[in-house]
Structure 1
Amino acid sequence: MKHARLRIHHDSGTLHPMHAFEMAHERIHRADLLHWNTVLDGTNTFVFRVRGDPAPFRAKLDARDVTVSYSLSSAENGVFYCCVRDRATESDEGYIDAFARGTLVVVPPIRFNPDGTTDLALVGTAVDLEAAVEGLPSGLRATVRSVGPYRHRASAPAPRLTDRQREAVAAAVACGYYESPREGSVTDVAASLDVAPGTAAEHLRKAEASVMRSVVTPGGDGENQYSSSSSFSTM
């Protein structure tokens, strides 16, 4: 049994309309899919965690033909939650079918990144993981970010970051701050967050400290769980 983290890259025509809306709207900053349920009547129900203003999000849900019903929480510290029931589209079914095979289980959350990519984790056999990566619908491709044997601690809670720290890290990843060689700067992160560079640097420093503590803590999230190898069968 393997545990793999994937990043899904979308051609312009395969990006989910709500993800495209979140990327384009200045008052919606990011969304994570926390829970979902496929109902046997052609609908899907989702719970999202969204950083931003609920008003434009509500207006978008009202304008969509596929929205059956929804409920939004009030925003607290710039974050709100949305439970929405949608009629399943052909695009939705293709995306779901890519990972609804054999032994595969999608481990939440699914993160919709500001650069248009989607991050998700899967648990399953090497054969099923490889089939999912190779069998994505047209217009989608996967980068295997990490893969390794599944252990109980692989599903341990992630390091505790504040909402703002997580947003800073997401902005840093999107601008290439963690690439080698580095493609983005703290100034780029600050511009994305609309804060001063010193504030962005502080958010990143505290987030990185939390992650590093989890690496050296026994049973923590980063205790040699994964390999960067993309070969499922050799792990």
Structure 2
Amino acid sequence: MRYVTVRITPKEGTAFHPLGQALSDDPSVTREAVHRNELLDDGTCAMLAEARGDRNRYEEILEESLHVLDYAVTGTDCWWYSYTHYEPTDLTRRMLQQRGESEVMMEMPYDVAEDGSMEITFVGDEQTFAGAMPMGGDAFTIEVLETGDHHPEVDDLFGTLTARQQEILDTAVRLGYYQNPRKATHEEIADQVDASPSTVGEHLRKIESHVFSEFVQTGAAGDTRRRPKS
């Protein structure tokens, strides 16, 4: 397993979306990090973000934005988290679609700098990186900051699985597939995740191979600590 940390910087402005630009333009608000940003089935997006500064002004910007459908803010007057349901632009939609289709996993949260750049770490098999890195074109530039071997802790392993693998594994555990004696079959899992039993079996074999190989590599490395962020 490998990781690569990159800095993605918009070529125009200091954000990839008008809402982010409005927040960046206001000196009383500082964007800190994005914890989740997901493209929903109806084509809209949901984001969990962290920010600081003037909370009242932050909420005013969300309220005034034509792109925001709904929002909620929780925290203190100077540091808070926000849930925002919003309409994406074509660029943000393409970026989220590419991330969803990629086998490379993005570590969350990622930081947002004052210039709008995002420092993001991707984790995956080395051969998957070439076709998985976002391509900026006229929209943004990408700078590789760091790369190397990734030895995840136990609670990091789930995050390195694809979204489909996470769904199948979560369902298998919930139904008792890994209990002794086993309480669920491939067929029962398949019914829950809308897949064929053979597809479920193939995914579970890949998941088990991936997880156990990571345990072995981590143990061989003799270091189970999380890689410190630069």
Q: TM > 0.5 between the two? A: yes
User: Structure 2 counterpart of 1:75, which letter?
Assistant: T
Which residue in the other structure is 1:87 paired with?
A: 87
2:28 is aligned with 1:27: yes
Which residue in the other structure is 1:54 paired with?
A: 55
Contact 2:103–2:124 (Cα < 8 Å) also in 1: yes
CA-CA distance at 1:81 after TM superposition:
0.8
Which residue in the other structure is 2:9 paired with?
A: 9
CA-CA distance at 1:104 after TM superposition:
1.4
**TM-score, normalised to structure 2's length?**
0.61
Residues 137-192 of structure 1: CA deviation (Å, up to 9, x unaligned): 43212111111222114987xxxxxxxxxxxxxxxxxxxxxxxxxxxxxxxxxxxx
Which residue in the other structure is 2:72 paired with?
A: 71
Please give the alpha-carbon distance, in whole angstroms, between the structure 2 residues aligned to 1:107 and 1:33: 11
Please give the alpha-carbon distance, in whole angstroms, between the structure 2 residues aligned to 1:109 and 1:7: 14
Contact 1:154–1:221 (Cα < 8 Å) also in 2: no
User: Structure 2 counterpart of 1:37, which letter?
Assistant: E
Which residue in the other structure is 2:150 paired with?
A: 150
Please give the alpha-carbon distance, in whole angstroms, between the structure 2 residues aligned to 1:87 and 1:139: 19
2:131 is aligned with 1:131: yes
CA-CA distance at 1:99 after TM superposition:
2.9
User: Structure 2 counterpart of 1:63, which letter?
Assistant: E
CA-CA distance at 1:135 after TM superposition:
2.7
Please give the alpha-carbon distance, in whole angstroms, between the structure 2 residues aligned to 1:142 and 1:155: 29
Please give the alpha-carbon distance, in whole angstroms, between the structure 1 residues aligned to 2:7 and 2:138: 16
Q: CA 1:62–1:10 in 2, change beyond 3 Å: closer, same or farther?
A: same
Please give the alpha-carbon distance, in whole angstroms, between the structure 2 residues aligned to 1:41 and 1:133: 25
**TM-score, normalised to structure 1's length?**
0.60
Please give the alpha-carbon distance, in whole angstroms, between the structure 2 residues aligned to 1:107 and 1:82: 19
User: Structure 1 counterpart of 2:79, which letter?
Assistant: V
Larger radius of gyration, structure 1 or 2? Answer: 2
Q: Return 50-59 or 147-156, whichever deviates more.
A: 147-156
User: Any gaps of 5 or more consecutive residues in structure 2?
Assistant: 157-222
User: Structure 2 counterpart of 1:23, which letter?
Assistant: S
- Counterparts of 1:102-121 in structure 2 under 5 Å? 102-121=102-121
Contact 2:39–2:93 (Cα < 8 Å) also in 1: no
Which residue in the other structure is 1:178 paired with?
A: none
Contact 1:19–1:112 (Cα < 8 Å) also in 2: no
- Displaced runs of 4+ in structure 1, greater than 6 A? none
RMSD: 2.7
Tell me the percent identity. 15
Please give the alpha-carbon distance, in whole angstroms, between the structure 2 residues aligned to 1:28 and 1:143: 26
Q: CA 1:94–1:119 in 2, change beyond 3 Å: closer, same or farther?
A: same
Please give the alpha-carbon distance, in whole angstroms, between the structure 2 residues aligned to 1:64 and 1:57: 11
User: Structure 2 counterpart of 1:94, which letter?
Assistant: R
Contact 1:31–1:51 (Cα < 8 Å) also in 2: yes
